[in-house]
């Protein structure tokens, strides 16, 4: 069996010992766990079904995707073509495979209609939700995954370095977001890992503000939160700029310096054995106490989240978070300060946990 596939199946079933087989059922969208197991780089595989066990995976696909699947088939993977002529035969194969067994499903993705069809047609002994098993497996990345996230981070970092050339008075948030996405695509991104956030001025006080027709003015904060994808893997970075005037003594610059130092403290804390609560506290306690509490309570979201096949890949770093950092995990570090009616600052990087500490992705340092 393919070495990476074997390792991923072992991680999943070690975390979920109750299931005999796991069904991954695509809809019009592709379940991220389908990509995790197949490592396919092309193809839609709409409405296809994959059955995973400790011994390998079996893909049931249409004529439309069969040759695409065969061309990317891994050792330990079986591909079955489903068409009008053999549909009943395939149903019987699936019934014999799944009847009276314990079936795992991704409850966070599978539609209720698919769940009911599986229950009716295959009559399993029990159906259990194994979505958490996948999250536990996926949170520790293997080398191939890390390389994909690193490439995505390099693209986003390069686009963020280039984007300030397009700052000009009167440009709208929508226009700048579109230009950023074009830059990212030109640099090799398959697609944005989420809708690019661009906020000018007081809009930057809203962490999830979506671009509108607000125009850029002299002295405005410009906050850009964006990500790229490479082979399905995401990056997520934020940079905050101050447009068009000397800001050495400005309130905006003060806020920027507070956030920058808070991020440095958080990254220093991101090492094997640290908990999400500890990492969050490293940044939050500084923001809450600096300048006699001037910015206390202005950091209004979690310190970060895991990144992978999904931009929010299962776990987060927040007050009370019990997640323990391990080598191979990738989390964002994104403290922020938000002053409603004035503006906000956020700085975000993707951080790989290593044996000795961490590495900021996007710098081409992995070797």
pLDDT value at residue 352:
98
Four-point Cα dihedral 140, 142, 143, 146, nearest 10: -40
Q: Is 320 in contact with 284 (CB distance < 8 Å)? A: no
Domains in the chain and their CATH numbers?
A: 3-138 (3.40.350.10), 143-360 (3.90.230.10)
pLDDT in tens, the chain (367 residues): 999 999 999 999 999 888 999 999 999 999 999 999 999 999 999 999 999 999 999 999 999 999 999 999 999 999 999 998 898 999 999 999 999 999 999 999 999 999 999 999 999 999 999 999 999 999 999 999 999 999 999 999 999 999 999 999 999 999 999 999 999 999 999 999 999 999 999 999 999 999 999 999 999 999 999 999 999 999 999 999 999 876 667 999 999 999 999 999 999 999 999 999 999 999 999 999 999 999 999 999 999 999 999 999 999 999 999 999 999 999 999 999 999 999 999 999 999 999 999 999 997 554 3
For residue 222, CA distances in Å to 157, 169, 200, 218 come to: 16, 12, 5, 11
Q: Which two tokens stand for residue 49?
A: 């079904």
Helix (H) or strand (E) holding 223: strand 221-226
Does residue 268 sit in helix, strand or coil?
helix
Alpha helices for the chain (secondary structure H): 3-15, 32-38, 63-72, 87-98, 112-122, 131-138, 143-163, 173-186, 251-269, 276-293
Distance from C-alpha of 206 to C-alpha of 200, rounded to nearest angstrom = 10
The 8-class DSSP code of residue 174 comes to H
Residues with Cβ within 8 Å of residue 234, at least 6 apart in sequence: 149, 152, 193, 194, 227, 228, 307, 308, 309, 310, 311, 313
pLDDT value at residue 17:
82
What spatial distance separates the first Cα and last Cα of the chain, rounded to whole Å?
27
Q: Cα-flanking dihedrals φ and ψ of residue 62, to 5°?
A: -80, 170
The 8-class DSSP code of residue 104 comes to E
For residue 265, CA distances in Å to 102, 270, 279, 288, 360 come to: 46, 9, 8, 13, 14
Distance from C-alpha of 80 to C-alpha of 50, rounded to nearest angstrom = 10
- The owner of tokens 């029990």 is 126
DSSP 80-101: EEE-TTTHHHHHHHHHHHHTTS
Question: Biggest alpha carbon distance in the chain?
Answer: 75
**Which pairing describes strands 49-53 and 56-62: parallel, antiparallel, or unpaired?**
antiparallel
Q: Which two tokens stand for residue 51?
A: 């059955």
pLDDT value at residue 248:
66
Distance from C-alpha of 89 to C-alpha of 69, rounded to nearest angstrom = 20
* Closest listed residue to residue 360, CA positions, set 334, 321, 322: 334
Instruction: Give the residues across from 242 on adjacent strands.
Output: 221
Distance from C-alpha of 44 to C-alpha of 66, rounded to nearest angstrom = 11
pLDDT value at residue 364:
57
Describe the strand order of the beta sheet including 126-129 as a list of residue ranges. Answer: 77-82, 56-62, 49-53, 21-25, 102-105, 126-129
Q: Which two tokens stand for residue 175?
A: 């226009």
Q: Cα-flanking dihedrals φ and ψ of residue 42, to 5°?
A: -145, 160
Q: Which two tokens stand for residue 136?
A: 């536990």
- pTM for the model: 0.94
């Amino acid at each position: 069996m393919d070495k990476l596939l074997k390792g991923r199946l072992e991680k999943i079933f070690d975390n979920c010992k109750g299931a005999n087989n796991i069904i991954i059922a695509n809809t019009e969208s592709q379940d991220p766990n389908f990509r995790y197991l197949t490592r396919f780089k092309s193809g839609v595989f709409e409405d296809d079904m994959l059955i995973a066990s400790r011994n390998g995976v079996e893909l049931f696909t249409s004529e439309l995707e069969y040759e695409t699947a065969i061309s990317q088939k891994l050792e330990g993977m079986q591909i079955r073509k489903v068409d009008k002529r053999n549909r009943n035969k395939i149903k019987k194969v699936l019934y014999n495979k799944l009847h009276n067994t314990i079936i795992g499903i991704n409850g966070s993705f599978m539609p209720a209609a698919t769940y009911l069809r599986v229950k009716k047609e295959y009559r399993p002994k029990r159906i259990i939700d194994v979505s958490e098993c996948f999250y536990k497996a996926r949170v520790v990345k293997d080398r191939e995954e890390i390389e994909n996230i690193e490439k995505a981070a390099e693209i986003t970092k390069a686009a963020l370095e280039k984007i300030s050339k397009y700052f000009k008075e009167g440009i709208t948030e929508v226009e700048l977001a579109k230009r950023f996405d074009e830059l990212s695509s030109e640099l090799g991104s398959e697609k944005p890992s989420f809708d690019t956030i661009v906020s000018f001025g007081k809009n930057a006080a809203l962490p999830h503000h979506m671009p509108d027709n607000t125009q850029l003015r002299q002295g405005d904060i410009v906050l850009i939160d964006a990500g790229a994808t490479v082979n399905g893997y995401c990056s997520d970075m934020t940079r905050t700029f101050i447009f068009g005037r000397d800001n050495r003594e400005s309130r905006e610059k003060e806020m920027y310096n507070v956030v920058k130092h808070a991020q440095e403290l958080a990254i220093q804390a991101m090492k094997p054995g640290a908990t999400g609560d500890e990492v969050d506290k490293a940044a939050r306690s500084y923001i809450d106490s600096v300048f006699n509490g001037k910015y206390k309570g202005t950091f209004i979201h979690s310190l970060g989240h895991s990144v992978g096949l999904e931009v929010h890949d299962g776990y987060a770093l927040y007050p009370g978070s019990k997640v323990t950092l391990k080598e191979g995990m990738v989390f964002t570090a994104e403290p922020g300060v938000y002053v409603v009616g004035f503006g906000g600052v956020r700085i975000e990087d993707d951080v790989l946990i290593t044996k000795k500490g961490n590495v900021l992705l996007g710098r081409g340092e992995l070797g």
